[in-house]
Amino acid sequence: MSDAPIATGTTNTTPNSLQVGTTDRLWKPWKISEEGITFIKEWEKFSPKMYDHDGAAAGNATIGYGYLVHTGPINGSASEAPFVAGISKERAIELLKISLTESEKLINKKVVVPLYQHEYDALVDFIYNLRNHGIPLLNLVNTGSYSDITKKLKEYNKAQGKPIQGLTNRRNSEANLFDNGNYDASH
């Protein structure tokens, strides 16, 4: 971490004053930690075979640690061909890391305030799970109201309009990670 200030500026009360601000939070580009990847793996659970009971109304073809093969149920489409025989845990980890780059790019693009590593990792899990549906939370992150983020995060616990215990547990775990740096994904 650098000791360089993240901001300097003059106050409007003393024209020749200089205020310097520093933070222990990290600045871009952020990259998910190994602890963050492990956290996500615990929530997604490994499936060597494709499934489409992912919580979406119609289901989405998914494999490994939540890797989205395509939207919609399993239907024999060409995108399913590489996964018909199933995959190993090693391949599932590769696919997870590939998938996480989308979430990471989105957060690095949308978030304009510094974050601790554990805050970033919690946001990556959240966005990986919700995809673009989680963008409103990133807008709240940009206000710098870090204490309000977990309250809002916990509101994303519904599927098809109904609270789901598994999502409630995941959001609580993400909130604990965001607030306290606790990578406990037990549920």
- By C-alpha distance, which of 129, 111, 120 is closest to 171? 129
pLDDT at residue 2 tops 50: no
Adjacent-strand bridge partners of 51: 62
Report in angstroms the alpha-carbon separations of 152 from 55, 83, 128: 20, 36, 17
Report in angstroms the alpha-carbon separations of 178 from 26, 107, 120, 166, 173: 14, 14, 8, 18, 9
Would you state the pLDDT for residue 169?
Answer: 96
For residue range 41-79, list pLDDT tens digits in order: 999 999 999 999 776 667 899 999 999 999 999 999 999
Residue 175 neighbours by CB under 8 Å, 6+ apart: 122, 150, 153, 154
C-alpha to C-alpha distance for 120 and 90, rounded to whole angstroms? 24
Would you state the pLDDT for residue 179?
Answer: 96
Would you state the pLDDT for residue 56?
Answer: 67
Would you state the pLDDT for residue 80?
Answer: 97
- Asked if residues 48 and 88 have their Cβ atoms less than 8 Å apart, the reply is yes
For residue range 90-146, list pLDDT tens digits in order: 999 999 999 999 999 999 999 999 999 999 999 999 999 988 788 899 999 999 888
Task: Name the residue ranges covered by the structural domains of the chain.
Answer: 7-180
CATH of segment(s) 7-180: 1.10.530.40
- Asked if residues 68 and 8 have their Cβ atoms less than 8 Å apart, the reply is no
CB-CB neighbours of 146 under 10 Å: 16
For residue range 151-184, list pLDDT tens digits in order: 999 999 988 789 999 999 999 999 999 999 999 9
Would you state the pLDDT for residue 13?
Answer: 56
Would you state the pLDDT for residue 1?
Answer: 38
Between 40 and 30, where is the model more confident? 40
